[in-house]
Structure 1
Amino acid sequence: MTQRLFPVLIIALIFAAPSSANADESAVLVVHFINGALGDGSFFDSAARGIAEAEAELGIEVVTIEAGYNSSAWRELLEAAAAGEDYDLLITGTALMRDLLSEVAKKHPDKRFIIYDSSVDYSEGSYENVYSVVYRQNEGAYLAGVYAALMTESGTIGILGGQNSTTINDFVVGYRQGAQSVGPEVVVLVEYAESWDDPALGEALAAEMYGKGADIIFQAAGTTGLGVFRAAAESGKYAIGVDSDQAMMIEETDPEEASTILTSMMKNVDASLLWALELYVNGVLPFGGAETLGIREGGVGLARNDRYDEATPAAVKAAIDRAELEIREGRTRVKTAF
């Protein structure tokens, strides 16, 4: 029984479990605090999908708080959520929430927390009540770079980041390394939107890169990045999605834009949260430390869907499989911005 609660309701929310007459009072109550909003078709939707699967499979109860993109409101909202008495586990994500989550976890040592796509600093104090899961997005971005460099006809590719931050630059570093492993002459254009929820801006920035000769753009910009697909459709160029299999997600609602997405760099947030919640319900989630998931662990990779199969030559597929194997076996070390 997932409930979606917006900031104006948050103070009322958090002191009560879901109120359905059929609610199981013995069920684990999970609060999912999103520092943004659902509907990005990638990162937050992937997290929510994994938690929803856990709700269906494990019988947990979930309250979802969409805190919006105004970061000045996050502290008060998160502190209110953490102060609630009825929940068992609070989940939040992204590096933007790391410091705030660190503070509330220290204030509430009797509560349990999960942070995904970031980690508290376990060296600076005791966080025995926090489980962190991070993803080697640089490895997934490396594969996207290899793919784009093999598929480009112009010799110029691009990447749009939502923010000039360490996490996004981890995408940029891996993407550039992967592309230039194919050929050092491949030009990689980089733009930062400094916004996560402005598709029109994403479309404008992508159009500029397409105008400069890029024929494939990788987007890592949340809802802003959805504008890349519109720009690709309008210019007759191509795109690479992020975090979820974005071509499959939008195929029914916008087949024209979906047809521009050659593949997506998967960050399997959904699978990792489903796995973590199963461990939690079984009493064996390893709080007090961080898990790091890359290609070897199945945490990141490329979407291999029907679109990928149809658009990708056999030689390119073989090259991607080779690059993935070399990372898995440690023969290729991908650079990181961290």
Structure 2
Amino acid sequence: MSQFTRRSVLHLSAGLAASALVLCAAASQASAADKILLIINGALGDKSFFDSANRGIEMIKQKYGDKVETRVLEIGDDPTKWEPALLDASEKDWNLIIAGTYSISETLGEVAKQYPDKKYILYDATVPYQEGGFDNVYSIQYKQNEGSYLGGVLAASLLKSGKLPADAGTALGFLGGMDIPVINDFLVGYIAGAQSVSPDVKVAVSYAGSFTDAAKGKELGLAQYRSGVGIGFTAASQAGLGQLSAAKETGKFVLGVDSDQEAIFAESDPAIASQVISSVLKNVDVSLLQAYDLYAEGKLPFGSGKAVGLSEGAVGLVESGNMAKLATPDVLAAVKSAKEKIASGEIRVPTAFGMSTEQVAKLRESVRP
């Protein structure tokens, strides 16, 4: 073999080897799974909000299979542990870190600034994009006031229908986890929906001061029912489970939240399920899957956020189960009409976001039994 030919073969072999390495690297990169971490600043098992987020991760895994690697990390409700957990997660090789709630939003925002190459999804809250430094954060907020409006229409209509037991009570109730804007957004929408049916409706309002204290939730729920509340509405995560227990104990009714709580308790505690007239849905699961779909396509607009509601399927009202049994045709028609008018923009549901503390307090006082 001539020296020229030998050199050509060597160059060709080296070129082929380099090409093979590039192809292998590309194939490896293409086949590498997206690593997704969901951080729960509380605990699973609330049968509402956090469990819905967990379902969202399960939906992503089910749809994308081996293309994703997922993990859920429960870090508890102690705020002093949130920053260390987020910092630790950001040091690892997660491609996407997801966390939610108004309470953790400031902490996540500060951590995200320190790791500009990491990507974060914040749900049920937002960060101050106008201040800059949040180009790696996408936030999802929910128009829970729209779903709660439907809940208010249903609850007030049922009280008015006369189809509930005679001793069911004459007022509505609301149990919030904490007196904060996102929870008061449920309240504001609920009151507006109820007033559209009965302008003089009365609503007893309580806050547990916690999203985990089920005992406190039950205590407040019992107090409401004993004071004449016929249908309570809980927006309190695990603390709200206490109100469900109070409904079971008193034989009164309750409007669940975030997930279909009648269906969730149908087998484990039928006595609770029987008292859940419906649930105002906050479909965290659906919104997380929608966000990841965009992320997988490279289209998720980090550095911005979006508020999602009825039109996106992110909030709603359960219309099967007990609701279908209890609601008269007039009640069903009222809910349907409200839904259509919200979707068309004919009804603009008021929101707690932008309301002052004094304005919220005045609203609560105006409907106090």
Post-superposition shift, 1:37? 0.5
| Cα distance in 2 for residues equivalent to 1:25 and 1:99 | 35
Per the alignment, residue 121 of structure 1 pairs with 128
1:148-163 paired onto structure 2 within 5 Å: 148-152=155-159, 154-163=169-178
| Cα distance in 1 for residues equivalent to 2:330 and 2:261 | 24
CA contact (8 A) 1:149 1:155 kept: no
Per the alignment, residue 313 of structure 1 pairs with 328
| Cα distance in 2 for residues equivalent to 1:173 and 1:275 | 27
Bigger mean CA offset, 280-289 vs 200-209: 280-289
Post-superposition shift, 1:307? 2.1
- Tell me the SS of whatever aligns to 1:218: strand
| Cα distance in 2 for residues equivalent to 1:47 and 1:64 | 10
CA contact (8 A) 1:202 1:226 kept: yes
CA contact (8 A) 1:58 1:278 kept: no
Post-superposition shift, 1:313? 1.2
Per the alignment, residue 179 of structure 1 pairs with 194
**Cα deviation per residue 1:13-41 (whole Å; 9 max; x = unaligned)?**
xxxxxxxxxxx971100111111010000
Per the alignment, residue 28 of structure 1 pairs with 34
Per the alignment, residue 140 of structure 1 pairs with 147
CA contact (8 A) 2:172 2:232 kept: yes
Alignment: residue pair count: 314
Given residue 166 of structure 1, which amino acid in structure 2 is its aligned partner? P
Post-superposition shift, 1:306? 2.2
| Cα distance in 1 for residues equivalent to 2:117 and 2:141 | 23
Per the alignment, residue 47 of structure 2 pairs with 41
- Tell me the SS of whatever aligns to 1:215: strand
**Cα deviation per residue 1:95-146 (whole Å; 9 max; x = unaligned)?**
1111111111111110100001111111110422111111011111111111
Aligned to 2:100, which of 93, 97, 116? 93
Aligned to 2:118, which of 94, 111, 115? 111
Higher helix share: 2
CA contact (8 A) 2:279 2:318 kept: yes
Matched, 1:281 2:287: no
Per the alignment, residue 21 of structure 1 pairs with none
Given residue 147 of structure 1, which amino acid in structure 2 is its aligned partner? L
Given residue 117 of structure 1, which amino acid in structure 2 is its aligned partner? D
- Tell me the SS of whatever aligns to 1:167: helix
Structure 2 portions without partners, runs of 5+: 1-29, 163-168, 354-369
Matched, 1:131 2:138: yes
Structure 1 portions without partners, runs of 5+: 1-23
Per the alignment, residue 80 of structure 1 pairs with 88
**Cα deviation per residue 1:205-245 (whole Å; 9 max; x = unaligned)?**
00000011001000000011011111111111100000011
Percent identity over paired residues: 46
Post-superposition shift, 1:282? 2.2
| Cα distance in 1 for residues equivalent to 2:78 and 2:133 | 30
| Cα distance in 2 for residues equivalent to 1:199 and 1:181 | 31
**Cα deviation per residue 1:159-190 (whole Å; 9 max; x = unaligned)?**
00000111111111111111111112210110
Bigger mean CA offset, 53-62 vs 320-329: 53-62
Per the alignment, residue 216 of structure 2 pairs with 201
Per the alignment, residue 62 of structure 2 pairs with 56
Per the alignment, residue 10 of structure 2 pairs with none
CA contact (8 A) 1:149 1:182 kept: yes
- Tell me the SS of whatever aligns to 1:194: coil
CA contact (8 A) 2:42 2:75 kept: yes
- Greater Cα radius of gyration, structure 1 or 2: 2
Per the alignment, residue 363 of structure 2 pairs with none
CA contact (8 A) 1:99 1:120 kept: yes
Matched, 1:332 2:343: no
TM-score, with length taken from structure 2: 0.83
Given residue 62 of structure 1, which amino acid in structure 2 is its aligned partner? T
| Cα distance in 1 for residues equivalent to 2:298 and 2:175 | 40
CA contact (8 A) 2:254 2:276 kept: yes
TM-score, with length taken from structure 1: 0.90
Matched, 1:71 2:68: no
Aligned to 2:269, which of 245, 254, 262? 254
Aligned to 2:307, which of 275, 292, 309? 292
Post-superposition shift, 1:202? 0.9
